[in-house]
Amino acid sequence: MNLSALGFIGFGEAAFHISSGLQTEGIPRIYAFDIMADDPNIGPLVKTRAGSANVGLVSSLKDLLEKADLVLCATSAKVALPIAKEAVAFVKKGQIYADLNSTSPKIKQEIGLVMGQAGALFVDVAVMELVPPHRHKVPVAVSGEGARQFKEMLSPYGMNITYVSDRAGSSSALKMLRSIFMKGLTALLLETLTASHKTGVDTEIMASLSNTLNNHPFEELVNMLLTRTSVAAERRVAEMSEVISTLQEMGVDYSASLATRGKLQALVALELKTHFNHKAPEHYTQVLDAIVQLSENNKK
């Protein structure tokens, strides 16, 4: 399936950088509709970006959907579904409507149903890295009825697309689950480095963390941390209590550490140490299986 014109609903940072990159690959015409284009404060930036990326701004959703055979919604999670409900009045049968906002899988599924009723093909697009450094080559995962066609149409222009499944919501689930780690890691770094900065041990903390994280392949590190924690959770709960007391004395936020202690305490409550006969299992998947099994047993 050939692409004649690509359209963006919303022309913020992500749409701008993706468009700029696609232009270097010789993509056909790109259009965009941004409701803020005439805003006195934000409008000038939208227009400057559009001009820089050689993107034609249109005045309505209707105009955009008439011009583009593949449309990407790049607004924000809170308006993704309302915009889809508005856009569906103008979509054509077989047209591809993709949404790359960071929403829950449920929202993506609802958008898919809305588009499906009008005969459009929906694509759930999950952006897996920061867009600006990669531009159009940012890794994206796609799912939904139009996912295969989306990949077929845009891969020739250098986009880094991984097909997940024909079920809308699958790729967003992947992104949401990844965000648990990435955003959680950011929170932990903020808490750790704020305290170390206040104490004056920034260099030492960075060197220590770097040594631990860089001296092991990631899966090996995961295996080491999870298997050992499964039988040492009680001791680590006690240590985190001391960490929290330390941060309280320093007057530094300790919310991430509090959550860590809570997660460890939950492992203690599951009696993982007894489950594994006080000996760390060989592989982290054994820990995960035990957590699922024991949690289900506790619900009965």
Burial label, 8 (beta-carbon count in 10 A; 0-12, 13-18, 19+): buried
CA-based nearest residue to 261, from 289, 287, 285, 242 = 242
**Single-letter amino acid, residue 118:** A
pLDDT of residue 300 exceeding 80, the answer is no
What are 241-263's pLDDT values in tens digits? 999 999 999 999 999 999 999 99
User: According to the model, what pLDDT value does residue 42 have?
Assistant: 95
What pLDDT score was predicted for residue 11? 97
CATH of 5-167, one of 3.40.50.620, 3.40.50.720, 3.40.50.2000, 3.40.50.2300: 3.40.50.720
At residue 298, the pLDDT reads 84
Residue 1 pLDDT > 70: no
pLDDT of residue 267: 95
The ranges assigned to domains in the chain are 5-167, 175-299
**C-alpha angle 217/219/225, rounded to 5°?**
100
Rounded Cα gap, residues 104 and 143, in angstroms: 13
Confidence of residue 291 (pLDDT cuts 50, 70, 90): very high
175-299: CATH topology: N-(1-d-carboxylethyl)-l-norvaline Dehydrogenase; domain 2 (1.10.1040)
The pTM for the full model equals 0.84
pLDDT tens digit string along 100-157?
A: 999 999 999 999 999 999 999 999 999 999 999 999 999 999 999 999 999 999 999 9
